[in-house]
Structure 1
Amino acid sequence: MPDSSRPAANPAGRQGDPNSGLRAAGGAVSLYYCRRVARKRWRIIFFGLLVGVAAAATVTRVVPPEYSAQATLYLSSPGETDGSAGSVGGERLRNSFAWLAGGQHLAQAVVDQLGLHEPASAVSAKLASSSRPGTSLLSVTATDATPQGAKTLADAAAGALTRLVTQLQTSPPVTASVIEPAALPTRATQPRPLVDFGLGVLLGLLAGVLAAFVREALDRRITGAGDLTRLTGAPNLATVPHNPAASEPPSFAGPGRPGLAESFRTLRTALHLVDVDRPRKAVLVTGALPDSGRTTTLCGLAVALGRTGRRVVLVETDLRRPHALDHLGVGGGEVGLTSVLTGQVALEQALRTWSGSAVFDVLPAGPLPPDPARLLASRRMADLLAELRRRYDTVLLDAPEVPAGADAAVLGAACDGVLLVVAHGRTTRHQVKSALLALAAGRVRLFGTVLTMAPEPPGQTPVRIPEQAPEPSVGRITGTVPLDVIPSAPKSRTHS
């Protein structure tokens, strides 16, 4: 039966978005959140910058060059007095002539004068005019693909406009004269490489940053110990690195990879400090999804604990897909836990000793039953677990992933606590929340989480934790003696 006095696993529904606390804490913390997203999604931002630069380069290369030339005209009237240039009537005349400079009539006159083989509408699109407020000046601007073409078109439009003004009957009469012919342009107005590249860099960065924040908001995977801690409300006791180039599963017989061994020693030390009032612990290791590194964590923790001289037993309670014997290289799985529970063999006959880089006992799963949850919830399983608690300092049990059935909740309620294994970059927040809700329904205590398959930081030296980690003194026997060296009653040493 579950211990009602123990706090249950955090159902995670109270935590909400793991980034909400960051956003609500104020400007300084929001800046931290932005920096964290930038460090995490820098590839997306860099890709956006590259796209912006590539777009600017494409525009500079594809857009045909365009040149502009401008001619200036002076409008005068015989009856004009000082200051009349800024009068309302003079302003209206300048605006009217400016509109005429871009009209079809003036464009047709330019076509006829230059003998162009293009419609007046095309020429009209190349012409523009503007008046300068407070003056009697009118500017005519022409654009073309060549500098000479732009100059010729601007001069022709200015001449045609002077003739058009003369033809119009105004009162008082107005005359127009070209006071500044168009100069030959020396630089193209389009494209503008510096401006285009500047805009490309700016827009590319903005698009990259926006895409990074959108990706962060849509990404529901666990990608860091901080995210996992905020989501579960429990400490992350260790981060197990993953090296894709290394063999899988890892070997526990030799020294192994330094980073992997250090992570299990970190987990061992953290586990000792989780509940100091209970030096003899029964710990269940389960996962939030299949293939999350649960069995590797279980075996690595058993090796790390065995190296300290503690009496450790690893019980293979995953009665659906047991893999612990394969990781440890222990044979004889035909007899095991199910054989003991059904009364076919005694506990001493089912136990095996693993004496690779450490020494501890292993209780294999045995023949797989049709209904594992029912067998694990039986009275005989409770009695067996009580016997193992009496014999050993630490009892490690594994269970199928929480979504696979009720096995984890049943075993977790009978243990002191649970370690939830979460795979980096694979397990989603929804899967973690579902696992926590299932554990909380059985009043299971969550010791903490273990983040597995985390990328190894290049060139980073792990902090070494001594093999003989300090532990609470419980007046125990030092070491686990290999079973095959005891001539009779090989397991009696654990009854004291």
Structure 2
Amino acid sequence: MDAAHPGSMDLSDYLGLVRRHWWVVLLLTAVGVAGAAAVTRTLPREYVSSTSVLVQPSGGDANAAGGRTKGEINLDTEAQLVRSTQVATTAAELLRTHVDPRNLSRSVSVEVPPNTTVLQIKYAARTPELAQAGSHAFAEAYLRSRDANAHYDLDSQIKALNAKLKQLSTQLGQVIVKLGKQSGDAPNRPTLDSQRATLQAQINQLNGKLNGLSTTAVSAGRIISDAGLPNRPRKPDLKINLAGGAVLGALLGLLAAALRHRLDRRVRRAGDVWRRADVPVLAEVTGRAKPRLDDVFPPYGSGGRIFNRLRNEVVAAISAVVPAGERLREPSGTQPAAETALGRAVVVTGASRGPSATLVAANLATALARTGSEVVLVGAHLPDLLVGVAPLAGLVGVQPTPGLSDVICGRVALSTALQRAPRTPHLRVLATGATASAAGLLQSQALRDIVAHLRTQCDYLIIEAPSAEASADAQSLAGVADAAIVAIELRRTRYPQVLDAAEQLRRVGTVLLGAVVVPRLKVPTSVPAVAPAPRPTPSAALVEDTQHFERIDETKLAELDAAAGQGAA
């Protein structure tokens, strides 16, 4: 699996993403709100004033078939008339402005409240005074236009009636003239009498209509609520703009957090190690367990319980890898070949530089020793690789010298360098040592002989190796061990480093038990200087072997010292 391309994410991953990058989301949300406030200040203000006009029927009103309004007046048509060029021209005259009426009408909007004959004429302008004047001017112009149209329709009807009366009067005069020329017993006299009566009736009817139209009072409508002076602008709306800026900023924050998560290769939580690096997590030092670089966790504290569970898992896993009956056959001079039980060897290496491997190895070895098993802890961080790393000796309470590097170089004997931890009787420690020499000591045959010999003298051998990123020493040490554990430091270790460490261990055939995840540790800025220990004489070394390492006989110790000297040469 490519660490740069994580697998599918579920809801918990997205929630964790927001939790880890909350400051990005919050920052961009604040930026969005601030940007919206700044933009709102630069936008032009728009004030709106409204005038309510009651529309009354006039002689020329007619509702369209299928119209939205079902009364005598079609208010949809009237709303369109308010925005007509004729009304806009009259409004421009009332406002005494030279603005094009077509541009003036674009600032007008008309609303029709349901079940009413009222028009709400709204006018938008940059100042409250212009908005008020514009709304009133368009209402007044609309009423004038409607009044003029009503009078025009009324005059047209009166003119038509007068023309018809004139025609009928002419016809009546002709009939009367004909009647005057006829005798009383003329055959067509009854017909002429009938025509005269009919024409007279029509004339009387038209005169009645004409009299009615002449006395009709035209009222096209009236203003029932005049335009008021608006106290605040309609646009821009500060609340809406701020809410929009906050939403936009939050979305950008989420996108930035997702992009940051996508590009960030640092291990942020233990659950991602298995999903992105294909390495199982054995334990996670989190919660109230605050790692210390000057002492191991107490057995009944939060951290102690974590490493007790880790100890049980490691014992169970390594027992399945290395059968309990496996033995090592060693030659011993002229004596018959002897069979010696092998202790299980576990290498602890860090995926990145730092004290994570030292912390895990010291606490794991202490947890194993508390069960009564004989445990040897070997510190393999050479001094030239120890910059910025907490010494192993400080965690378990032993002297930093002599140590492994001194034994490999032949300066001291192995039994002299081995120290028993003062607070853990069943734990013996081979510290790192103080000899700074050329690289390659951890890949020498002398080191392999030391590891092989130590495995015959203990139940568990824990090797604190350099990080897999620093050198190939971790891979070399893993080649002489039964299993390996990778220490991962949150927010410092990267997924490619975890993948590389796992691949290095698997290439040498070592079983990778899993990873132990620890929080980011505060690395010491300096390491105390250690004075090199004087090299003891061979006789003194043998005495030390007898007192401190009773299970190593003199013949084996001499062979081991000789091999160490050859490896250093």
TM-score over 0.5 (shorter chain):
yes
1:141 maps to amino acid: K
1:347 maps to amino acid: L
Match of 1:478 in 2: none
Match of 1:237 in 2: 282
Aligned residues of 1:310 and 1:394 also touching (Cα < 8 A):
yes
1:218 maps to amino acid: L
Aligned residues of 1:65 and 1:145 also touching (Cα < 8 A):
yes
Match of 1:249 in 2: 293
Within the alignment, does 1:289 sit opposite 2:333 as a pair?
A: no
Within the alignment, does 1:371 sit opposite 2:429 as a pair?
A: no
CA deviation after TM superposition for structure 1 residue 380, in Å: 2.7
CA deviation after TM superposition for structure 1 residue 429, in Å: 1.8
TM-score for both structures, normalised by structure 2: 0.62
Q: 1:111 aligns with which of 61, 83, 95?
A: 95
Measured at CA, do residues 186 and 394 of structure 1 come closer, stay the same or move farther in structure 2, by a change above 3 Å? same
Match of 1:405 in 2: 471
CA deviation after TM superposition for structure 1 residue 179, in Å: 5.7
2:509 maps to amino acid: R
**Inter-partner Cα distance in structure 1 for 2:86 and 2:502:** 76
Task: Summarize the alignment of residues 202-221 of structure 1 with structure 2, pairs less than 5 Å apart.
Answer: 203=248, 206-221=251-266
TM-score for both structures, normalised by structure 1: 0.69
Task: Summarize the alignment of residues 85-164 of structure 1 with structure 2, pairs less than 5 Å apart.
Answer: 86=67, 95=80, 98=83, 100=85, 108-112=92-96, 124=104, 127-130=107-110, 140-143=121-124, 150-161=131-142
Match of 1:450 in 2: 516
Match of 1:463 in 2: none
Match of 1:492 in 2: 550
CA deviation after TM superposition for structure 1 residue 221, in Å: 2.0
Measured at CA, do residues 432 and 99 of structure 1 come closer, stay the same or move farther in structure 2, by a change above 3 Å? farther
The aligned length equals 437
1:371 maps to amino acid: A
CA deviation after TM superposition for structure 1 residue 265, in Å: 2.3
**Inter-partner Cα distance in structure 2 for 1:305 and 1:242:** 23
Aligned residues of 2:123 and 2:134 also touching (Cα < 8 A):
yes
Quick check: which has more Rg, 1 or 2? 2
Measured at CA, do residues 339 and 211 of structure 1 come closer, stay the same or move farther in structure 2, by a change above 3 Å? closer
2:264 maps to amino acid: D
Q: 1:305 aligns with which of 359, 362, 368?
A: 368
Q: 2:314 aligns with which of 234, 248, 271?
A: 271
Aligned residues of 1:289 and 1:401 also touching (Cα < 8 A):
yes
Q: SS at the partner of 2:294? A: coil
CA deviation after TM superposition for structure 1 residue 315, in Å: 1.4
CA deviation after TM superposition for structure 1 residue 306, in Å: 2.0
Unaligned runs of 5+ in 1: 1-11, 24-29, 456-482
**Inter-partner Cα distance in structure 2 for 1:351 and 1:131:** 96
Aligned residues of 1:129 and 1:138 also touching (Cα < 8 A):
no
After superposition, give the CA deviation of every residue in 1:158-195 in whole Å (9 maximum; x if it has no partner): 22355578899xx9999976565545378854565775
Measured at CA, do residues 191 and 131 of structure 1 come closer, stay the same or move farther in structure 2, by a change above 3 Å? closer
Measured at CA, do residues 126 and 340 of structure 1 come closer, stay the same or move farther in structure 2, by a change above 3 Å? same
Aligned residues of 1:53 and 1:204 also touching (Cα < 8 A):
yes
Q: SS at the partner of 1:391? A: coil
2:357 maps to amino acid: R
Aligned residues of 1:67 and 1:187 also touching (Cα < 8 A):
no
**Inter-partner Cα distance in structure 2 for 1:65 and 1:257:** 71
Measured at CA, do residues 332 and 155 of structure 1 come closer, stay the same or move farther in structure 2, by a change above 3 Å? closer
Aligned residues of 2:108 and 2:123 also touching (Cα < 8 A):
yes
Measured at CA, do residues 380 and 45 of structure 1 come closer, stay the same or move farther in structure 2, by a change above 3 Å? same
**Inter-partner Cα distance in structure 2 for 1:432 and 1:172:** 93
Measured at CA, do residues 81 and 321 of structure 1 come closer, stay the same or move farther in structure 2, by a change above 3 Å? closer
**Percent identical:** 28
After superposition, give the CA deviation of every residue in 1:237-289 in whole Å (9 maximum; x if it has no partner): 12224889x7962324x849933333332322221122223363211111121
1:127 maps to amino acid: S
Q: SS at the partner of 2:353? A: coil
Unaligned runs of 5+ in 2: 69-73, 157-218, 325-342, 522-540, 557-569
**Inter-partner Cα distance in structure 1 for 2:84 and 2:437:** 93
After superposition, give the CA deviation of every residue in 1:346-377 in whole Å (9 maximum; x if it has no partner): 321222222125542122334233122xx333
**Inter-partner Cα distance in structure 1 for 2:467 and 2:91:** 80
Task: Summarize the alignment of residues 39-54 of structure 1 with structure 2, pairs less than 5 Å apart.
Answer: 39-42=19-22, 44-45=24-25
CA deviation after TM superposition for structure 1 residue 316, in Å: 1.8
Task: Summarize the alignment of residues 428-467 of structure 1 with structure 2, pairs less than 5 Å apart.
Answer: 428-453=494-519
